[in-house]
Amino acid sequence: MLVHDGMSDSRAARIVEVEAYLGADDPSSHAYRGMTPRNRPMFGEPGHAYVYLSHGVHFCMNVVAKSAGRPAGAVLLRGAEPLDPHDRPRALAGPGLIGRWFGLTTAHGGLDLVRSALTLHDAPPVPAALVGRSARIGLSTGHTLTKAWRFYVRGSPGVSRAPRQ
């Protein structure tokens, strides 16, 4: 669950779709060609936010997550469901919609997702039968194209789109 205690309100949503990006071993990762000012948070401590502007329009958020021996890595938040039933929209089906609804900008990049106004929390577990796994979507080239590095909750309105076949 992602929570943002903003200046005027607090918002929370259950994350229902994510994709992993493995850094130097993954041509689709922003860290593939090394550290830049834009992707610097991906090379930082796990559990921090990496927020970037996509196509000059949408702010998208990743959670820095890397294993031993990997200099960079992150998990893109692709889909979510707002928790307050009075909130609109009912679902945030796409990483740009998550960024817009939470009011994210690159200023949120590098925030500690445990000790800041933008935090991750445990959510109720999802039954294993509802967890889907597929190749990432929206990619066209690279040797990692067919890797099953996307996870989603089957039947959730917050899932951005059906898996590629």
Tell me the domain boundaries of the chain: 2-153
CATH class of 2-153: alpha beta
Instruction: Determine the distance from the C-alpha atom of residue 138 to the mean position of all C-alpha atoms in its chain, rounded to a whole number.
Output: 14
Query: Which sign does the torsion angle of CA 104, 13, 149, 122 carry?
Result: positive
Q: Give me 43's structure tokens.
A: 């090379």
The pLDDT tens digits for 22-55 are 887 888 888 888 888 888 898 888 999 999 999 8
**Single pTM value for the model:** 0.91
The pLDDT tens digits for 58-87 are 999 999 998 666 788 899 999 999 997 666
List, as own/partner pairs, every contact residues 120-123 make where C-beta atoms lie below 8 angstroms and the sequence separation is at least 24, other chains included: 120/1, 120/2, 120/3, 120/47, 120/63, 121/1, 121/2, 121/3, 121/12, 122/1, 123/1, 123/14, 123/15
